[in-house]
Amino acid sequence: MNAKLTAEKNEPVKKIMNGADMLIQALREENVELIFGYPGGAVLPIYDKLYDSGMRHILTRHEQGSIHAAEGYARVSGKPGVVIATSGPGATNIVTGLTDAMMDSLPLIVITGQVASGVIGSDAFQEADVMGITMPITKHSYQVQDVRELPQMMKEAFHIATTGRPGPVLIDIPKDIAGAEGMFDYSQELQLPGYQPTVKPNHMQIRKVLDAIAEAKKPVILAGAGVLHAHGHEELRTFAATQNLPLAHTLLGLGAFPADHELFLGMCGMHGTYAANMAIYEADLLINIGARFDDRVTGNLKHFAPNAKVAHIDIDPAEIGKNVPTQIPVVGDAKEALQILNQTTNAVGDFTEWHERLNGWKTEYPLAYLEDGDELKPQKLIELIHQTTNGEAIVTTDVGQHQMWAAQYYKLNSPNRWVTSGGLGTMGFGFPAAIGAQLAEPQSTVVAVTGDGGFQMTLQELSVLQELNLPVKVVILNNKSLGMVRQWQQLFYEERYSHSKIPVQPDFVKLAEAYSIRGWKTETEEETRKALEEALAHPGPALIDVRVAQEENVYPMVATGKGIHEMVGIKP
């Protein structure tokens, strides 16, 4: 064991080290327990020091698997996910994950190797302009020019990634810097005058929110992932219950409020519930807490909450007023804002008539589907997963039909049980994200719900499940197509299914067995229920290939260009 790396935690380390040792020591100072990565030439000095560092490293089988696993770990644990990739192709393979983490506000520390300083810009072997590529898709990027800068950059990187609106920070380290020596000193205070996130909200603006509630007749809360990032779910429940306010979620906000609560309206947006969308359409006060008003939530902006005064609580001031005009802006941490809202007295309004209207919509237009014929409906599959896991599993998904059905039919009552690719909509995300989620919470049941298309983008990570014997349950919603693409071609392209159906599939069960992972292939409800029960009882990893109806569509749906009140398919 390297003596430089075994100092007591509270004993400041000030020693001459090389860059690779500095990096390892900085990760120790930040209490990093887990690293996802893939070695290569430019990061060999770092991996050599990692070899006897005692830190746990997960060798994924592709860099994209590393960064999606780190995203899943960050989403569930609340800690920053750490990734190491080599220069050139290693670095460019993480670009999708960086963009995904940036859009969904996930804290990552991504360390890339770089060719030696002297040949940067010469098209050297495995060189890529990582700074130029990643600048727009990271919260901040560093390239180390002098080894003496490395400790301060690492300290700043962790601070920036985890404060304010979370996000990914990249540190590019040339190979010669990893071997150069300098003084390691991690005790210096951070000096970032240009980066001062506003955490404490303005009390006068909070007062305006409560005054608006007192004046409103049809208020509604829209809760986003900002509530989860701030760990403000308990405060949200208190606020909604105390003020008697109905509440809708964004896709990424699912789990911040119990799905079985009487005030819960469901998910809003393109595939949201009728009650949630109509509540926002008719509201005279919309209180957005930690959501960014993306286009999948708002639909046509001309018709979004047309009669509502808008209050927007967000830690990122750039999001307030960006898409939707806001009358009451509140910049600050969602939990801090909710605590102040809950501590400030006000007259609670009488919303009896409003609740009666909302409950009427919930009763008349619930999420529903027809069970006709022998084919298993994908909605039924999600309900079976919910039943067999008692609604307590951590569920990860890619993007597409399976994602929307999981969001609609897996009723979440707890925070941080839902890991999905929201903003970027990344195929191949859900399976490696499940690996990270399982490592974050080894005692929890983790189910990766994935489509047959997305699974084939990152299925090589089955090797990681086998190696670590992680008890992730992979459920492939197999409709032999790129389901959401096929749905849009059916509805908007005159059923011209241009390359969206996948007639030839691998035998996913045999594939799992090739990795010594148990597998089941099912087609009926009873076969699937039995397979789910056996898979959940199995202590190791498992895969279930479930054949479902190919032509089933996700409804309700708001077509592009329409307002969220113009849903189709509200009744099967």
Cα separations in angstroms, 561 against 29, 453, 469, 569: 50, 27, 47, 17
d(CA 333, CA 235): 12
Active-site annotation holds for 1? no
For the record, the structure tokens of 140 come out as: 């901040």
Q: What is the dihedral of CA 356, 362, 364, 367, to 10 degrees?
A: 180
Nearest to 222 by CA among 274, 271, 257: 257
d(CA 132, CA 134): 6
Please give the helix or strand (H or E) that residue 183 lies within, else none.
strand 181-185
For the record, the structure tokens of 124 come out as: 């050297």
Please give the helix or strand (H or E) that residue 465 lies within, else none.
helix 462-468
For the record, the structure tokens of 308 come out as: 């509502």
SS (H, E, C) 230-269: CCCHHHHHHHHHHHCCCEEECCCCCCCCCCCCCCEEEECC
- Considering the candidates 29, 30, 63, 235, report the single residue annotated as catalytic: 63
Active-site annotation holds for 443? no
Cα separations in angstroms, 65 against 88, 131, 403, 463, 540: 17, 21, 19, 11, 20
Cα separations in angstroms, 407 against 226, 232, 250, 476: 18, 21, 10, 16
d(CA 46, CA 86): 10
Q: What is the dihedral of CA 304, 310, 311, 313, to 10 degrees?
A: 30
Active-site annotation holds for 215? no
- Considering the candidates 49, 175, 362, 473, report the single residue annotated as catalytic: 175
Judge if the upstream peptide bond of residue 556 is cis by omega within 30 degrees of 0. yes
- Considering the candidates 126, 460, 466, 490, report the single residue annotated as catalytic: 126
Contact (CB, 8 A) for 548 and 524: no
- Considering the candidates 14, 15, 33, 125, report the single residue annotated as catalytic: 125
Identify the residue whose tokens are 């400790």: 151
Active-site annotation holds for 175? yes
In degrees, rounded to 5, the angle at the alpha carbon of residue 260 between the alpha carbons of residues 255 and 263 is: 90
Active-site annotation holds for 126? yes
In degrees, rounded to 5, the angle at the alpha carbon of residue 421 between the alpha carbons of residues 127 and 368 is: 160
Q: Which residues of 534-548 are buried (b: 16+ CB within 10 A; e: fewer)?
A: ebbeeebbbbbbbbb
Residue 162: phi and psi, rounded to 5, are -110, -5
- Considering the candidates 103, 154, 427, 484, report the single residue annotated as catalytic: 484
Alpha helices for 164-301 (secondary structure H): 175-179, 203-215, 225-229, 233-243, 274-282, 295-298
Q: Which residues are catalytic?
A: 63, 125-126, 175, 484
